[in-house]
Amino acid sequence: MSKSNFTRRGVLKTGTVAGAGLALPTIFTAQSAAAFTNEPTGGTVTLGFNVPQTGPYADEGNDELLAQQLAVEHLNGMGDGGCLNTFTSKALKGNGILGKKVEFVTGDTQTKSDAARASAKSMIEKDGAVMINGGSSSGVAVAVQGLCQEAGVIFMAGLTHSNDTTGKDRKKNGFRHFFNAYMSAAALAPVLAKEMGTDRRAYHLTADYTWGWTQQESIQAATEAMGWDTVTNVMTPLASTDFSSYIAPILNSGADTLVLNHYGGNMINSLTNAVQFGLLDKQVNGKDFKIIVPLYSELMAAGAGENIKGVLGSMNYNWQLQNEGSAAFVKSFGEKYGKPPSNSAQTCYAQVLLYADAVERAGTFNPCGVVEALEGFEFDGLGNGPTLYRAEDHQCFKDVLVVRGAENPTNQYDTLEIVEVTPAAQVSYEPNHPMFGGDDASLGECNPGA
């Protein structure tokens, strides 16, 4: 008769010890091999493009995606090279990034913060994206920037205009090339004073979310500083489609100027409604009634059609800008896609190149190395003229465009005309400005993840 030495408890103990022993070297290997999240180990590097592919901003997201794909082509040495030929930094050679071929994955933000975070998380965790770029909403940008900070990857924001993105919600791993609400107001104010005078009564309609709040606060401060009165500010729900009940009270309010702190479909509808009610044909306080749209985009202008004629606003970039970088980008984008780029496309294109360039200059994909390379970086040749990536808040400082709805458009793309290119110095502010979180605002520490 034989007696076995195996017992159930003994097998469990041995198995646990053996399993832990086998796993231990793997854990150490994994930690020691990856110094940061998603360190590229093969011949390719993956970028994550998180844009609205469905929902109300899908057209804008599609334009961003076109620009991002173009940037990847240029980085990999295909096409005409675009702004690689005009960029003042010559680190990029058209052979990928640090010799690795650039690949990309895409996510759909749906212009919803939770969906945007989920798609960014998936691209980081499942696809190994080392950088996230894109988006067309400040709510989304703030949410995804927070996620990238936690995950230890770089976030190169797309279209986000709220002061908060590089203000109270700034993050060490996040960078914004697009301008912001304060800059819009600072650029617009002198033009408004010149064209409309310093004695006006403004009525504000404001989209009820982070961007609307900061946009309204900025433009109210700037216009009041030059002598305008603010009649009132009415918050409108983001989901509003018919603004007639908000427009009607303006008629008898004594206001002679309407400021539409709206973007996208909100702006198209509120401006259409305002024009329907004949506001632009009215005379109040002995002055012609005027409408201002602080933030414009080409797609909004196209959607608003003839209603934007003569209406002033501001932009980060316009394809009609006459400089070497802009010409190269418009030619490259226009020949490939048959239309000029929008300002959301341009900011995404510039952000992808800026990230790639920073990696090349840093000699590593490590986010902390990239952060160091981007902080305080001065460059030109990407379409906006001389630009500084300020170290204190990761906000780009460059010229801002004041534009007006074209009175006599000559073709379908000729919707906006540039009124003034406001110098960067005029739209600059201190990093601890009260509208940007004051002294409490901090970038925090760089997080390489892993």
Partner 1 sequence: MDSILLQILNGLDKGSAYALIALGLTLIFGTLGVVNFAHGAIFMLGAFCAVTLSKVLQLSFVTIDETKKDFLGNPLKVETPYVEAWFGPEIGASIIDWAVPLSILLAIPVMIALGLLMERGLIKHFYKREHADQILVTFGLAIVLQEIVKYYFGANPIQTPPPDALLGVANLGAWFGLDLPYPIWRIVYFCFAALIIFAVFAFLQFTTFGMVVRAGMADRETVGLLGINIDRRFTIMFAIAACVAGLAGVMYAPINPPNYHMGMDFLVLSFVVVVVGGMGSLPGAVLAGFLLGILESFASTTWATTTIPGINQIIIYLVAIIVLLTRPRGLMGRKGVMEE
- Rounded (5°) CA angle 212-216-219: 140
Q: How far apart are the first and last CA of the chain?
A: 56
Question: Which ranges of 34-101 does DSSP label H, i.e. alpha helix?
Answer: 58-75
CB of 397 to partner 1, least distance (A): 28
Q: How many residues does the chain have?
A: 450
CB of 276 to partner 1, least distance (A): 4
Q: Which amino acid is at 263?
A: Y
Checking DSSP bridges between strand 312-315 and strand 290-295, what pairing results, if any? Answer: parallel
CB of 265 to partner 1, least distance (A): 6
Q: How far apart are CA 91 and CA 353, in angstroms?
A: 10
CB of 246 to partner 1, least distance (A): 6
The binding site for partner 1 (CB under 8 A) comprises: 54-59, 232, 234-237, 239, 241-242, 244-246, 248-249, 251-253, 265, 268-269, 272-273, 276-278, 281, 299, 302-307, 319-320, 330-331, 334-335, 340, 410-411, 413
Closer to partner 1 by Cβ: residue 16 or 276: 276
Closer to partner 1 by Cβ: residue 190 or 265: 265
376: Cα within 13 Å, side-chain hemisphere: 2
Closer to partner 1 by Cβ: residue 58 or 91: 58
Q: How far apart are CA 14 and CA 16, in angstroms?
A: 5
Closer to partner 1 by Cβ: residue 49 or 355: 49
Distances 448 to 59, 141, 218, 441 between C-alpha atoms, Å: 33, 20, 34, 21
CB of 379 to partner 1, least distance (A): 25
Whose tokens are 């790639």? That residue is 356
CB of 309 to partner 1, least distance (A): 12
Residue 155, classed as helix, strand or coil, is strand
Distances 165 to 136, 188, 213, 264 between C-alpha atoms, Å: 12, 21, 13, 19
Closer to partner 1 by Cβ: residue 284 or 427: 284
CB of 126 to partner 1, least distance (A): 25
Cα 42 from chain centroid (whole Å): 30
Q: Which amino acid is at 421?
A: V
Closer to partner 1 by Cβ: residue 68 or 266: 266
Closer to partner 1 by Cβ: residue 61 or 431: 61
